[in-house]
Structure 1
Amino acid sequence: MNEVVLEARHISKSFHDPVTLPILKDISFTIKKGEFVSITGKSGCGKSTLLYILSTMDTDYDGELFIEQENMKGKTENQLAYVRNAKIGFVFQFHYLIHEFTVIENVMLPGLKLGAHSEEEVRQRAIDQLRALDIHMLANKKANLISGGEKQRVAIARALINSPSIVLCDEPTGNLDKANSEIVFKIFKHLTRERQQTILVVTHDQEFAANTHRIIEMEDGKIVQK
Structure 2
Amino acid sequence: MKELILQTSHISKSFGDAVDVPVLSDINLQLAKGEFVSVTGKSGCGKSTLLYVLSTMDTDYDGELYIDGVCMNGKTEPQLARVRNEKIGFVFQFHYLLNEFSVLQNVMMPALRLGRWEADEIRQRAYDKLVTLDMAQHAQKKPNQLSGGQKQRVAIARALINDPLIIMGDEPTGNLDKRNSEIVFETFLQLAQTQGQTLLIVTHDQEFARRTGRTIQMQDGKVA
Report the TM-score when normalising by structure 2.
0.99
- Partner of residue 60, structure 1: 60
Task: Write the distance in 1 (CA, Å) between the matches of 2:104 and 2:8.
Answer: 34
- Partner of residue 48, structure 1: 48
- Partner of residue 19, structure 1: 19
Residues 142-177 of structure 1 show CA distances to partners (whole Å, capped at 9, x for unaligned) of 111111111000000000000000000000100000
Residues 87-127 of structure 1 show CA distances to partners (whole Å, capped at 9, x for unaligned) of 00000000000111100000000000000000000000000
Q: Secondary structure at the match of 1:44?
A: coil
Q: Secondary structure at the match of 1:23?
A: strand
Q: Secondary structure at the match of 1:167?
A: strand
Deviation at 1:19, TM superposition (A): 1.4
- Partner of residue 7, structure 1: 7
Q: Secondary structure at the match of 1:14?
A: strand
Deviation at 1:18, TM superposition (A): 3.3
| Within-5 A mapping of 1:1-226 | 2-224=2-224
Task: Write the distance in 2 (CA, Å) between the matches of 1:135 and 1:100.
Answer: 18
Task: Write the distance in 2 (CA, Å) between the matches of 1:30 and 1:112.
Answer: 31
Task: Write the distance in 2 (CA, Å) between the matches of 1:85 and 1:205.
Answer: 28
Q: Which amino acid aligns with 1:109?
A: M
Task: Write the distance in 2 (CA, Å) between the matches of 1:52 and 1:78.
Answer: 17
Deviation at 1:17, TM superposition (A): 3.4
Q: Which amino acid aligns with 2:141?
A: K
Tell which deviates more after alignment, 198-207 or 18-27: 18-27
Identical-pair percentage: 64
Task: Write the distance in 1 (CA, Å) between the matches of 2:106 and 2:97.
Answer: 6
Q: Secondary structure at the match of 2:83?
A: helix
Aligned residues of 1:42 and 1:219 also touching (Cα < 8 A): yes
Q: Secondary structure at the match of 1:109?
A: helix
Task: Write the distance in 2 (CA, Å) between the matches of 1:170 and 1:32.
Answer: 19
Tell which deviates more after alignment, 190-199 or 10-19: 10-19
Q: Which amino acid aligns with 1:190?
A: Q
Task: Write the distance in 2 (CA, Å) between the matches of 1:22 and 1:48.
Answer: 14
Report the TM-score when normalising by structure 1.
0.98
Q: Which runs of 5+ in 1 are unaligned?
A: none
Task: Write the distance in 2 (CA, Å) between the matches of 1:211 and 1:143.
Answer: 29
Task: Write the distance in 2 (CA, Å) between the matches of 1:160 and 1:192.
Answer: 12
